[in-house]
């Protein structure tokens, strides 16, 4: 599958003048750039963008609430007070990791909240999307999170036409087309970065492959950068939410098996937006401009004062790094699944097994060795030049090492990318947490572990977050099948006050279709995509209100609740009723829940085998 590329690399070396395309480009260092800032508050750029976004949201929110028709809710008064006080609520959507599974079910969720979809407006869920300030993703969830903004935020139905998900870009490409490239070509592309003096690895290779699906631009979006989103007209006019993606990191001293490191649960979580790259906590408490990622800094100044680099932040590389769990896949393979366990997803779906282990993983390792003389430990992590060395706010490797070693954002056990949105600086009021991390063994549904992990991490860090019950309760109370709110009342948050956002937990579950297809399914037919979209729509709308006609109003109640308190308006009786019904009240049920093995919520008589027989995707 992967070929020897020694000659290809030599050819690139001979013909290239300036490393355009995938490789970062050398430029003279900018004057007057603030290279790093401490992780205190928002950057000026983000803060002013958010203020601009609030103005646009005020109109979308008004239209949304107009359609929603909450009982006894004075919409005009609400909107006018928001306008006067600049207290427009800050809403976010977080899309979990889970490979192509989460990428596509999460896209179905985006679709169900979109006011450009008539059915969504009919069901009174449309317009939430237009009222979001932030959208975050990691691993497979980073693909729609980066793709939608990069394309100027088209509708979900439009973006599927750009994606062409039916093409398998990773396993079966024989010839280059506008939509896919061969393994050889991907290697030639990443070779340009190598020849410019940068480390390369599996994250670059996978990212280039995914980019032919998810990133706009010639040759699989080869030049497209994440910071470039700032130049898109819809971003400039604040007509889309701001994307945040997460990466985890490994450090020397982390648990090591066979020479490969795994992050600890408290490992540093990196946060990347079109504005900045860095971390709010852990071994790095600083940010650097995303546009200038790729420069090695010491004490906040370039180590090489004459040459700086731009274009390290290729969108393909970022989505490839965020979804690069090669350390886990490799360890799972060599240990027969006893090492490299995600705090997530069932082991029977891991990449290693999809690639008929161990030969294909080894082939990839061999291809790097033959082409670049790089070995397993060189290519496993995504290597980023370290901008945070020698800062008083950094520690460990981030303080002393010229490079950062980054891995799949899922690897700390927080597969729902909430960390960036729960930072007090971002003031998020309400977060929709989409969970398709497939952590419930053995059938790849969800058991709430990843949400619970964020609660324990937030509690340890003193961050305001709703209290989340342990997974047995999550399962027994059906929170992994039906939507559930957390943190409506201050006494059920980590800080005991209303600084925590209200979190709407929505987990992928079978309503009209069994959407627990393999997270590594590398091609998806349009029919299956359609069924996934309808299933996500049925989850978001609770089967078009047939489960509970009041449900859509309850989403609205949760979205506005924190802002009501700020502008001196009362929660309505309807919203009290909603919270009574949908907000966790502290009750526990810690009996053994057994396995997550649901049948179709909308047609419980149809078991998986029967359904699968008529849905041969
Ligand atoms: C792919 O390229 C090979 C030659 O490398 C050619 O024989 C084959 O017909 C091409 N296949 C397609 C589908 O174009
Ligand atoms: C935006 O476009 C301008 C003009 O082409 C360019 O100078 C600038 O570097 C771009 N910014 C980003 C973040 O790509
Ligand atoms: C992370 O956890 C490890 C033990 O698992 C501990 O030794 C270390 O001090 C913790 N790091 C931080 C920053 O809390
Ligand atoms: C700075 O980088 C340029 C380009 O890679 C290189 O030629 C030069 O030697 C470097 N300077 C120093 C002082 O390392
Ligand atoms: C790998 O583990 C499975 C159970 O998880 C076991 O059935 C199988 O025999 C093991 N294979 C090897 C080669 O140890
Ligand atoms: C940290 O600073 C020291 C002293 O200036 C320097 O020798 C070292 O290279 C710096 N570390 C990194 C990773 O840049
Ligand atoms: C939930 O999922 C995690 C991760 O796969 C697993 O370790 C745990 O046993 C599961 N818990 C229950 C109660 O199923
Ligand atoms: C959870 O769902 C199952 C199956 O629909 C139902 O039997 C059970 O009563 C529900 N449990 C709760 C606490 O609602
Ligand atoms: C939280 O506070 C409310 C209002 O003060 C009270 O009714 C409720 O019982 C409290 N819940 C818990 C779990 O303490
Ligand atoms: C809900 O409405 C959508 C869009 O019209 C439709 O595709 C779906 O089948 C409906 N679901 C139910 C349970 O009626
Ligand atoms: C999907 O879920 C059903 C119901 O739990 C189960 O029977 C089936 O095996 C699952 N499929 C996969 C690929 O996990
Ligand atoms: C579903 O059916 C297909 C045949 O259409 C079969 O290949 C596949 O193994 C079945 N999936 C499961 C999980 O049983």
Residue 264 alpha carbon to ligand 3 centre in Å: 8
The confidence score (pLDDT) of residue 598 equals 97
Pocket test for ligand 2, best of 228, 235, 272, 318 (most atoms within 8 A of CB): 228
pLDDT of residue 270: 98
Residue 479 has pLDDT above 60, yes or no: yes
Residue 16 has pLDDT above 70, yes or no: no
Is residue 2 domain-resident?
A: no
Q: Where are the beta strands (DSSP E) in 390-496?
A: 403-407, 430-435, 484-486
Residue 172 confidence (pLDDT): 81
| E strand map for 304-362 | 307-310
How many angstroms does the Cα of residue 491 sit away from the middle of ligand 9? 6
Q: Where are the alpha helices (DSSP H) in 196-243?
A: 202-214, 218-221, 233-236
pLDDT of residue 406: 98
Which residues fall within 8 angstroms of residue 99, CB to CB, at 6 or more apart? 139, 140, 323, 518, 519, 520, 521
3-state per-residue secondary structure call for 106-125: HHHHHHHCCCCCHHHHHCCC
Residue 296 has pLDDT above 80, yes or no: yes
pLDDT of residue 20: 57
Q: How far apart are CA 283 and CA 267, in angstroms?
A: 8
Provide the pLDDT for residue 361. 83
The total number of structural domains that make up the chain: 1
Any idea what the CATH number is for the domain that residue 477 is in?
3.40.1090.10
Which residues neighbour 237 within 8 Å (Cβ) at sequence distance 6 or greater?
56
Atom of ligand 12 minimally distant from the CA of 612: 1
pLDDT recorded at residue 5: 44
- 458-471 pLDDT tens trace: 999 999 999 999 99
- Reply yes or no on whether the pLDDT at 395 is more than 90: yes
Give, for ligand 8, the residue of 447, 473, 478 to mutate: max count of ligand atoms closer than 8 Å to Cβ: 478
**Whose CA is closest to atom 3 on ligand 6?**
390
Helix orientation angle between 99-112 and 156-163, rounded to the nearest 10 degrees: 150
In a domain, 216, yes or no: yes
pLDDT at 153 exceeding the cut of 60: yes
Average pLDDT in the 295-303 region?
98
pLDDT (mean) for 17-46? 89
Quick: pLDDT tens for 318-364.
999 999 999 998 888 888 777 776 654 444 444 433 343 345 788 89
pLDDT tops 90 at residue 133: yes
Average pLDDT over residues 381-395: 98
pLDDT at 351: 43
Instruction: Give the Cα separation of 283 and 330 in Å (integer).
Output: 26
The Cα–Cα gap between 18 and 310 comes to: 12
- Other Cβ atoms within 10 Å of 61 Cβ, number: 27
Closest-approaching ligand to the CA atom of 487 = 9
Top mutation candidate among 167, 168, 173, 174 for ligand 1, by most atoms within 8 Å of CB: 174
Atom of ligand 1 nearest to the CA of 174: 1
Quote the pLDDT of residue 356.
36
CA dihedral 299, 268, 198, 99 (to 10 degrees): -160
Q: What is the DSSP string of 236-305?
A: HTT-SPEEEEEEEEE-TTS-EETTEE---TTPPEEEE-SSEEEESSTT--EEEEGGGTT--EETTEESSS
In a domain, residue 4? The reply is no
| pLDDT at position 354 | 38
Between residues 9 and 78, the one the model is more confident about? 78
Best of 486, 487, 489, 497 to mutate for ligand 9, by most ligand atoms within 8 A of CB?
489
Cis peptide, bond prior to residue 358, ω within 30 of zero: yes
Residue 6 pLDDT: 42
pTM listed for this prediction: 0.94
Residues within a 6 A CB radius of ligand 5 = 336-337
Q: How far is the CA of 266 from the centre of ligand 3 (A)?
A: 6
Q: In ligand 6, which atom is closest to the CA atom of 303?
A: 14
Q: Measure the CA–CA gap between 470 and 342, rounded to whole angstroms.
A: 18
Note whether residue 165 is domain-resident. yes
Containing structural domain, residue 287: 11-613
Interval 215-256: pLDDT, tens: 999 999 999 999 999 999 999 999 999 999 999 999 999 999
Rounded CA gap, 64 and 26, in Å? 47
Instruction: State the distance from the centre of ligand 6 to the C-alpha of 299, rounded, in angstroms.
Output: 8
Is residue 6, in this structure, part of any structural domain at all? no
pLDDT, residue 342, reads: 64
Q: Is residue 1 part of a domain?
A: no
What's the whole-number average pLDDT of the chain?
Answer: 93
CB 562, CB 502: distance < 8 Å: yes
Per-residue pLDDT tens for 357-379?
A: 345 788 899 999 999 999 999 99
What are the distances in angstroms from CA 250 to CA 263, 267, 268, 545?
5, 7, 8, 45
Least confident span in 38-42, 342-346, 452-456, 525-529: 342-346
In a domain, 594, yes or no: yes
């Amino acid at each position: 599958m992967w070929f020897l590329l020694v000659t290809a690399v030599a050819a690139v070396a001979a013909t290239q003048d300036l490393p355009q395309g995938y490789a970062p480009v050398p430029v003279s260092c900018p004057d007057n750039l603030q290279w790093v800032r401490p992780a205190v508050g928002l950057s000026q750029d983000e803060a002013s963008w958010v203020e601009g976004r609030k103005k646009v949201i005020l109109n979308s929110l008004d239209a949304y609430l107009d359609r929603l028709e909450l009982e006894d809710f004075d919409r005009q008064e609400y909107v006018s007070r928001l306008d006067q006080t600049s207290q427009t609520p800050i809403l976010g959507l977080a899309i979990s990791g889970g490979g192509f599974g989460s990428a596509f079910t999460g896209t179905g969720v985006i679709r169900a909240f979109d006011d450009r979809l008539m059915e969504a407006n009919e069901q009174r869920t449309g317009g939430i999307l237009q009222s979001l300030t932030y959208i975050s993703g990691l691993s497979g969830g980073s693909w729609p999170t980066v793709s939608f903004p990069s394309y100027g935020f088209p509708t979900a139905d439009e973006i599927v036409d750009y994606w062409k998900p039916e093409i398998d870009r990773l396993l079966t490409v024989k010839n280059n087309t506008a939509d896919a490239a061969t393994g050889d070509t991907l290697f030639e592309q990443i070779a340009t970065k190598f020849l410019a003096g940068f480390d390369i690895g599996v994250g670059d290779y996978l990212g280039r492959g995914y980019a032919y699906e998810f990133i706009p631009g010639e040759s699989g979006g080869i030049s497209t950068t994440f910071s470039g989103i700032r130049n898109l007209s819809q971003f400039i006019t604040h007509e889309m939410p701001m994307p945040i993606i997460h990466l985890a990191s490994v450090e020397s001293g982390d648990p090591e098996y066979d020479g490969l490191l795994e992050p600890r649960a408290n490992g540093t979580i990196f946060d990347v937006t079109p504005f900045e790259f860095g971390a709010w906590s852990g071994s790095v408490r600083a940010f650097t401009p995303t546009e200038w990622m790729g420069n090695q800094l010491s004490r906040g100044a370039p180590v090489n004062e004459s040459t700086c680099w731009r274009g390290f932040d290729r969108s393909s590389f970022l989505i490839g790094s965020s979804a690069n769990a090669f350390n886990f896949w490799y360890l799972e393979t060599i240990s027969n699944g006893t090492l490299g366990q995600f705090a997530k997803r069932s082991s029977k779906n891991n990449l290693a097994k999809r690639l008929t282990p161990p030969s294909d993983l080894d082939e990839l390792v061999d291809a790097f060795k033959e082409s670049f003389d790089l070995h397993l430990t060189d290519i496993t992590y995504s290597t980023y030049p370290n901008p945070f060395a020698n800062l008083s706010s950094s520690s460990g490797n981030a303080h002393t090492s010229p490079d950062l070693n980054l891995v799949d954002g899922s690897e700390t056990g927080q597969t729902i990318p909430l960390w960036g949105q729960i930072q007090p600086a971002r003031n998020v009021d309400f977060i929709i947490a989409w969970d398709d991390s497939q952590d419930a063994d053995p059938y790849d549904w969800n058991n709430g572990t990843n949400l619970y992990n964020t609660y324990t991490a937030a509690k340890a860090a003193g961050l305001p977050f709703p209290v989340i019950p342990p997974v047995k309760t999550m399962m027994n109370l059906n929170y992994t099948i039906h939507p559930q709110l957390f943190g409506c009342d201050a006494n059920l948050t980590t800080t005991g006050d209303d600084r925590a956002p209200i979190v709407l937990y929505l987990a992928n579950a079978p309503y009209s279709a069994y959407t627990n297809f393999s997270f590594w399914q590398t091609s998806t037919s349009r029919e299956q995509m359609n069924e996934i979209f309808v299933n996500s729509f049925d989850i978001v709308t609770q089967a078009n209100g047939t489960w509970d006609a009041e449900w859509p109003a309850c989403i609205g109640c949760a979205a506005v609740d924190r802002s009501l308190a700020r502008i001196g308006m009362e929660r309505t009786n309807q919203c009290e009723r909603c919270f009574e019904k949908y907000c966790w009240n502290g009750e526990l049920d810690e009996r053994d829940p057994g396995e997550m093995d649901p049948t179709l919520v909308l047609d419980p008589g149809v078991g998986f085998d029967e359904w699968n027989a008529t849905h041969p995707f």
